[in-house]
C-alpha cells in the first residue's frame, strides 16, 4: 500500500469510499505471525506460530482460553488481542452468571464485532490492530469465526491469518471439504501441516507453535508441548514414509522483514 491522502484519521472517507485507517489496521494483522483454524462438525483446532523476539526472551501468547467452550487465536498487535480477550472473558462470565448457561459463540463474535466497529467511527479512537480466530461451540455444534479490525466477522470451515498465511490457505483450500467428518487427531495434524506451510522450510517444532482444541465434550485447552512434539514427529515419519512433498514450494529463505515496526509483535 502506498501513501494515501485521506488517511489521517479514521473518520475521514476517501473519495473512493474507503477508510484507510481501517485498512491499515488490517495490514497490522497481516504483519503478525501466522495463526490457523480448522473446524470439523464436532471440534475446532487453533494453531499459531510463536516466535520469540530473541533467544533471551519468551514468546508472546497468541492463544487465549475465553471460556470452557470458546478460545481465540490472534495475529497482529498482541496487546490489543490481550485486551479483547479480557473483554470476551468478561462477556462470557456475565452471561453465565445471569443465564446459568454458556454464551453461544455466535453471539460472542457479534459483540466483539460491534466493539471493533465503534473504533472505526470515533475520531478519538483507533481500530484494534488484531485479527481474532474465534473457536467455539453452541447448541448446533462447532464453529470457527474470523473477526477483523474493520468490525466484520465471517464464519469459516478453515482459515489462516498473519504473515505467509496465504501458503496455509492454499493448503487448506485443497483439503477443507473433508474436514467436517475429521476426528480431532486428524484436524490437529492438518493444522500442524498448515502451520508448516507458513514456515517456508523452517523446521516445525513444538517450541515455536501452540496448538489448542475445543469440541463437544472437550473443554477448550492448549495442548501440551510434549504432546504437540509427538504429533509433529509422527507427521515427519509419515512424510518420509510416503516420500510426498508436503513442504512449501516457495524456495526463498526467510530473509524477511522481521525488522519490526515499533508497535509490532513477532
Partner 1 sequence: MGSRFNPYDNNGGTCVAIAGVDYCVVAADTRMSTGYSILTRDYSKICQLADKSVLASSGFQADVKALQKNLSAKHLIYQHQHNKQMSCPAMAQLLSNTLYYKRFFPYYAFNVLGGLDSEGKGCVFTYDAVGSYERVGYSTQGTGSTLIIPVLDNQLKSPSPLLLPAKDAVTPLSEGEAVDLVKDVFASATERDIYTGDQVEIVIINASGIKREYVQLRRD
Residues in the chain: 266
Binding residue (CB under 8 A) for partner 1 from 6, 7, 65, 141: 65
Shortest Cβ 92–partner 1 spacing (Å): 9
Q: How far is CA 147 from CA 129, 144, 153, 176, 260, in A?
A: 11, 10, 4, 20, 24
Residue 30 as a binder of partner 1 (CB under 8 A): the answer is: no
**8 Å CB contact between 49 and 74:** no
212 strand-pairing partners? 46, 222
Is residue 89 a contact point for partner 1 (CB under 8 A)? yes
Cβ proximity to partner 1, 136 vs 248, nearer residue: 136
Q: Decide whether 41 or 221 has the Cβ nearer to partner 1.
A: 221
# residues contacting partner 1 (CB under 8 A): 7
Q: Does 96 bind partner 1 (CB under 8 A)?
A: yes
| DSSP 8-class letter at 102 | P
| 240 contacts: CB under 8 Å, gap ≥ 6 | none
CA distance between the termini of the chain: 21
How near is the Cβ of 63 to partner 1 at its closest, in Å? 13
Quick one: which segment of 87-95, 140-148, 169-177, 254-262 binds partner 1 (CB under 8 A)?
87-95
Strand ranges, E, within 40-103: 43-49, 63-67, 70-76
Closest CA to 202 of 148, 266, 254: 254
Tell me whether residue 85 or residue 150 sits nearer to partner 1 (CB atom).
Answer: 85
- The stretch near partner 1 (CB under 8 A) out of 90-98, 171-179, 180-188, 256-264 is 90-98
Q: What is the closest distance, in whole angstroms, from the C-beta atom of residue 136 to partner 1 in the complex?
A: 16
Does residue number 93 form part of the binding site for partner 1 (CB under 8 A)? yes
Closest CA to 26 of 174, 126, 131: 131
Which x/- pattern over 184-213 shows residues binding partner 1 (rule: CB under 8 A)?
------------------------------
Per DSSP, the three-state class of 240 is helix
> Nearer Cβ to partner 1, position 66 or 158?
66
DSSP SS3 for 186: helix
Residues numbered 219 to 248 that lie near partner 1 (CB under 8 A) are none
**β pairing state of 209-215 and 218-222:** antiparallel
Q: Is 52 in the site for partner 1 (CB under 8 A)?
A: no
Q: Where does this chain bind partner 1 (CB under 8 A)?
A: 65, 86, 89-90, 93, 96-97
Amino acid at each position: 500500500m502506498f501513501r494515501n491522502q485521506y488517511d489521517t484519521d479514521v473518520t475521514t472517507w476517501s473519495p473512493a469510499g474507503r477508510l484507510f485507517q481501517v485498512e491499515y489496521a488490517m495490514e497490522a494483522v497481516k504483519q503478525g505471525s501466522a495463526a490457523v483454524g480448522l473446524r470439523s462438525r464436532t471440534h475446532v483446532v487453533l494453531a499459531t506460530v510463536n516466535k520469540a523476539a530473541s533467544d533471551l526472551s519468551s514468546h508472546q501468547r497468541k492463544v487465549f482460553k475465553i471460556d470452557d467452550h470458546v478460545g481465540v487465536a490472534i495475529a497482529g498487535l498482541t496487546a490489543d488481542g490481550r485486551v479483547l480477550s479480557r473483554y470476551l472473558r468478561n462477556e462470557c462470565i456475565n452471561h453465565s452468571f445471569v443465564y446459568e448457561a454458556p454464551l453461544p459463540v455466535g453471539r460472542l463474535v457479534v459483540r466483539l464485532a460491534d466493539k471493533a466497529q465503534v473504533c472505526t467511527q470515533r475520531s478519538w479512537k483507533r481500530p484494534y490492530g488484531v485479527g481474532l480466530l474465534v473457536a467455539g461451540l453452541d447448541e448446533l455444534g462447532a464453529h470457527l469465526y474470523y473477526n477483523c479490525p474493520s468490525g466484520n466477522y465471517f464464519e469459516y470451515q478453515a482459515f489462516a491469518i498473519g504473515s505467509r498465511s496465504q501458503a496455509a490457505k492454499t493448503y487448506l483450500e485443497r483439503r477443507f471439504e473433508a474436514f467436517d467428518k475429521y476426528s480431532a487427531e486428524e484436524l490437529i495434524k492438518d493444522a500442524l501441516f498448515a502451520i508448516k506451510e507458513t514456515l517456508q522450510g523452517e523446521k516445525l517444532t513444538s517450541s515455536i507453535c501452540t496448538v489448542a482444541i475445543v469440541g463437544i465434550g472437550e473443554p477448550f485447552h492448549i495442548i501440551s508441548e510434549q504432546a504437540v512434539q509427538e504429533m509433529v514427529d509422527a507427521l515427519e515419519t509419515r512424510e518420509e514414509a510416503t516420500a510426498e512433498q508436503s513442504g512449501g514450494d516457495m524456495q526463498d529463505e526467510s530473509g524477511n522483514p522481521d525488522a519490526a515496526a515499533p508497535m509490532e509483535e513477532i
